[in-house]
Structure 1
Amino acid sequence: MDKLDKLLAVLFIVLLFFIPIMMKKPIVTEKNVAMEEEPCVLYITVEGEDKPLPLEEYVLGVVAGEMPISFHDEALRAQAIAARTYALRTTEAGKKPIAATVSAQVYKNAAERKKRWGKEFKANEKRLRGIVESTAGDTIVYEDEMITAMFFSTSNGKTETAQNYSGNPVPYLQSVESPGESTVAAEVERRLELPLEEWNEALGSVWKADRFKSLQLVRNQTGRVQKAVSTDFEMSGREMREVLGLASTDFDIAYDITNKIVIVTTKGYGHGVGMSQYGAEAFAQKGWTAENIIPYYYSGTTIKKFELDESECLKTPTLANNSK
């Protein structure tokens, strides 16, 4: 019995040693799982917002701000890809802040979306999130470099070239036909009436009937006004659009001498460079996908997933100080 007692005593001591180890939780495994559940997220700092936003949350707000929710899924997908590309290039992948207005691209936060959509907020939010998620990480590249993904509302039937707009040629911002917009846009042609006094004030010069008679609008190959020339007057079409607040640079000017009113009619809305939003909708309604729409408006480009450098994942997002 002495030997049995000794054996039992040894077994008891061994059990006392191993039981705590067996009951101990696998801490290392839990940490690994937690790390896998927290993917690297890039943040965008939007001027006017309280804190930086995850990239995809920002893209959702831009699509909501830039396109009617009634648009076809594929047009909205194309907008998401363009908006993501524009934001990443403009902010240098989150390093710089971005405006929430047309000076960059319009962003609408959740409160603004709820106010706009009212009772349809939940349904619209769910649909739009699904659309944006289907493009997650997609960006537009030209020769493996992310592009400046310019976009605008409505064309005059053709998009504008970067050369005509800014004087700088950009290979992927060429003029292309944009048919069918008049069937999907509520308004393509607009009319503006300005009293002669307002016209003179805006242009900073004195106009009379004779000056209007000698006015020549020099158009480029896309039908837009490249420059306006008259007696002792010359101004680019882009500058005239800005100072007069015109919808586009495809405009005509008439003068009502009896009532002293300047009548300006325009076609399209926006600068005309890059992707036409209503053009994208027209193509989507014909069955085009975002993957068809993007390379059509951005010549020679492809869609590529954006990959964030691993070193950027270690940085904590902070509020930084600081087209259409």
Structure 2
Amino acid sequence: MTNVVPTDLQKPLCFFFQFSDDVLNKEGVASALQSFETAIMLIAYERWPSIVPLIWGACEALLRVKYPNSDEKIHIIQEKFKLEKNISSALNNNAHKLRQLRNDIAHKGYIPRDTQKCIELFFNAGIPYLDCLLEDVTGLKLFEALYPQSEGEIWSVFKDTRKVITRKINKSDDKIEKGLLFLILKIRNKFSPTYISEALWDMQSFYEEELWISEMRFKNKLINCIEKKQNDYCFELSDIRCPICGSDVLASFLWKGKGENWQFDSLNSVGCYKCVYLIEDKDLIEIFFHNRLTKELISELESDNPPLAKTVCV
């Protein structure tokens, strides 16, 4: 990856090195970008009542850049932007909901059940609306402007997380925060290189001392747990990496058929012994792992000996 030397105006930014100084000199642009960056950092600590005002603040700042001479109220400016740029009614309505939620949090306070709404509007309103505004004001879409773009970096994980969250919203899943696991860990890892992630065992805290056992002991423990808990076939996915640390992951899968005619069906659980997690969430598994299985890898799995007799076929 080519090293980027930021200009003096770019130095206060963590993610945006694509903008010229002329763009950053526009009043409101740099503050909007910093608000977005701070919102991303706070995802690592799940501070959703603070994230919503930041992501809306970034959007509002760019609306003011877009219409610098307007003294109209912001909801009127939103409607003007919708008509001018042909913003969909769905996105425009969600942007209004995001603004209203920001106002409610600022003036009435936050309650825990707001978390689900915060997450939904962050992904369904904040990100796409900011994307439209950023492209209009700067000429670059959000994910074109972010750096770096390499596979496995924050933005790769971010995009896949958004797919997971969208899927959960469409299914009316009342636990959509489970879909944030990899994004939370990735951001923590990015900004705290010495951070030791909380032991996550199927989204539950694991015993703290397990963080300090040797890598091989924990790997064996993870294998035993998968086989005991899932009662199915455990193997190492050597071509599919953990989205956090890039290591091979351990997985179990379900299959169909019997004896030598068995066929791979689906991944059932995935774990990383370095990042200390074991997940069974179907949406996370499908987006981050199952969809990356190639026909060649599946054929390679099926060419091995049939799964152990003790395991359960489907």
Q: What band does the TM-score fall into relative to the shorter chain?
A: under 0.3
The structure in which a higher percent of residues are strand is 1
Normalising by structure 2, what TM-score? Answer: 0.24
The structure in which a higher percent of residues are helix is 2
Normalising by structure 1, what TM-score? Answer: 0.23
